[in-house]
Amino acid sequence: MAGTVIPERRGAEAAVGATLDELWEEEPGLLGFLTTVNHKRIGRRYLVTAALFFLFAGVSALVMRTQLAVPDNHLVSPEEYDQLFTLHGTAMIFFFATPMNSGFGNYVLPLMIGTRDMAFPRVNALSYWIFLFSGLFMFSSLPLGMAPDGGWFAYVPLTREYLPGLNLDFYTLGLLMLAVSTTIGSINFIVTALKMRAPGMSLNRVPLFVWAIVTQSFMLVFALPPLDAANLMLFMDRRFGTHFFDTSHGGDAVLWQHLFWLFGHPDVYIIVLPAMGIISSVIPVFSRRPIVAYPLVVLATVATGIISFGVWVHHMFAVGLSTVSLAFFSAATLTISLPAGIQMFAWLGTMWFGRIRITTAMLYAVSFIVAFVLGGVTGVMFAVVPFDQQVTDSYFVVAHFHYVLFGGAVLPLLAGLFYWWPKMTGRMTSPRGGLISFILVFGGFNLTFFPMHISGLLGMPRRIYSYDGDLGWNIWNLLSTIGAFVLALGFLLTLFVFVQSLLHGPRSPDNPWGSNTLEWATGSPPKEYNFPVLPTVHSLNPLWDGKSLASMEEHDEDDLRVLTDEHQTLRTSEFDARIERVMTMPEEIIQPILVALSLLITVVFLLLKIYVGAYVGAGLLALVVLWWTWNRPEVES
């Protein structure tokens, strides 16, 4: 049942654990920090690094809101404002939301599916280092006074012809570098989920969070190439004088919008689907019952990923496309709301038929439903072409996508943090502190973004630096600014709650919530090897059925699930998770960070137009990759 308490390890299992403790012990100190390939350490790094980028984006948002609090304000110059709103959007979309989901995926997914690490641990480390260096490269532009200033969407011809300097080169090269990290990380998630599941975890027993991460990963593999092509073509137009977007030489400025939004609209669901997976993990646990309509939620998750690739043109209804095109994409915009509705009703049904336990994580989960429904209602309104054309480039659009992306991503990520925090740290958080911080965050969020609907309908355009005082926008902008500071206070209190938990929080039991998935069958925090004995899964809710948990204690010396010779785990079949063979996992290695550094050197020299240095960096990159592959260990036994 839901309240099952995980028993302490006993007898043979404890003996196996003692052997594995010594075998999986990591290198201490700086060397261990630079060479680790452990998925939990990499997951924590993703979470912390993405949170720092979120902090930067939040501070820039506060500066912008202060600038707009009153008419005719001059807190920052127009040029500084352009750089701030460009980096704010870039940080939130590219360097916070997706990497934060990757952090949860790295930490939780291998535990959820009952394995000891990702399929490619060293590639996992490489993905993180490239992400870190691409972010440092991008945001080093701000103190240099050369931050991107063409908006996070970088529309041409503005960014091609009218913004000289290195500002937009930081943007194109930084995103190209980040795409390498995201692509290899996505492939790693896909292979891990398909080939590393615990014996017995057939596809109909896979947790919904894993389905969400896999769907997101497939989406990234298909969505990133258009963005990469667009950034490469823009860089070549700016640097080498090509004419991809130059209409005077046969190019097409609208091509940028097609390529960008062919990535950009799926990216909304790339961000939101893992967040929905978190909600699907949290609500059943605190409703004390399995989720309603599991097969339909899986189908809705996959359908959302597929349909999202047919919606991008609704960002371009004011461009001047044909009526047939507008009709098709209007219908697609309406259609994509259906899978989201299925998930909403599944969560509501789960709570309706369950026994709700109020925790901070559950409060954030419920608040996500409220915020995402509000954002979805305004999203469906954009499917009506005349309305969309009326509010295009107004603050109504700003309000909409913040309800979808902030309400649909940040609130679930906070739910996930409070839910998995005891597992990651071994400490409980303060319920009272969590409640107060939730009230401030959710209240501040609504006070910040809801007035923007009204100011947008009153005609306030987005991306403006200042405004006159007689346009009727004053009170709405002031309310939004007050809300932004309330929201910031909520995040500061949230940070205090987590720090207080780390320093003085009570110790967490292995499964404090009575949860249903395998990550809660490990210690809090888990050992380096996760499971002394890999479990055999008997149901969708393995910790609630009794059999799956018992399988970790009942084994003999010849059981393939007992792996104590090397860094080993099991490879299983894609559909029904039958054991195929034992895999030897690679250990610590220095090459991933060296590959990322070599790529960074190449990109920096390319930015500075020192092409000889770029060639040297590329040569160094090739040598390090050759060194890595030359010393490749035998990965299977």
Which of helix, strand or coil describes residue 569? strand
Of 539, 582, 598, nearest in space to 201 by CA: 539
Neighbours of 188 (CB within 10 A): 24
CA distances to 244, 269, 278, 432 from 417, in Å: 44, 20, 10, 16
439 vs 333, more confident: 439
Question: Left, alpha or beta for 609 (phi > 0: left; psi -120 to 50: alpha)?
Answer: left
pLDDT digits (tens, 9 = 90+) for 164-185: 899 999 999 999 999 999 999 9
Burial of 630 (0-12, 13-18, 19+ CB in 10 A): exposed
Q: What is the DSSP string of 357-378?
A: ---HHHHHHHHHHHHHHHHHHH
Give the pLDDT band (50/70/90) at residue 150: very high
Q: What is the pLDDT of residue 561?
A: 63
Q: What is the pLDDT of residue 631?
A: 66
User: Rounded mean pLDDT of 1-11?
Assistant: 45
> Under a CB-based contact definition with an 8 Å cutoff, are residues 194 and 115 in contact?
no
- Least confident interval from 153-167, 226-240, 425-439, 542-556: 542-556
| Residue 428 confidence (pLDDT) above 90 | yes
Distance CA(147)–CA(135), nearest Å, equals: 12
Lowest mean pLDDT across 247-256, 481-490, 534-543, 566-575? 566-575
Query: How confident is the model at residue 23, as a pLDDT?
Result: 79
Lowest mean pLDDT among 285-294, 408-417, 432-441, 544-553: 544-553
* Strand-strand pairing, 579-584 and 568-572: antiparallel
User: How far is the C-alpha of 613 from the C-alpha of 174, rounded, in Å?
Assistant: 18
At 7, is the pLDDT very low, low, confident or very high (cuts 50, 70, 90)? very low
When pLDDT is cut at 50, 70 and 90, the band that residue 132 belongs to is very high
Minimum mean pLDDT range among 116-125, 486-495, 504-513, 581-590? 581-590
- Minimum mean pLDDT range among 154-158, 187-191, 452-456, 556-560: 556-560
pLDDT at res. 209: 98
Residue 635 has pLDDT above 80, yes or no: no
Q: Give me the percent of the chain exceeding a pLDDT of 90.
A: 85
Res. 273: pLDDT tops 70: yes
pLDDT at 8: 45
Nearest to 570 by CA among 200, 205, 295, 216: 200
Q: What percent of the chain has pLDDT over 70?
A: 95
Answer yes or no: is pLDDT of 621 > 90. yes
Contact by Cβ (8 Å): 542, 535: yes
**What per-residue confidence (pLDDT) applies to 28?**
84
Q: What pLDDT score was predicted for residue 58?
A: 96
Q: Specify which of 121-130, 313-322, 560-569, 582-591 reaches the highest per-range mean pLDDT.
A: 121-130
Binned at pLDDT 50, 70 and 90, residue 2 comes out as very low
DSSP β-bridge partners for residue 571: 581
**Tens digits of residue pLDDT in 237-257:** 999 999 999 999 999 999 999
Q: Is the pLDDT of residue 198 over 70?
A: yes
Q: What is the DSSP letter of 521?
A: G
pTM of the model: 0.94
Cα angle at 79 between 75 and 83, to 5 degrees? Answer: 95
Report which of 545, 555, 557 is spatially closest to residue 521, judged by C-alpha positions.
Answer: 545
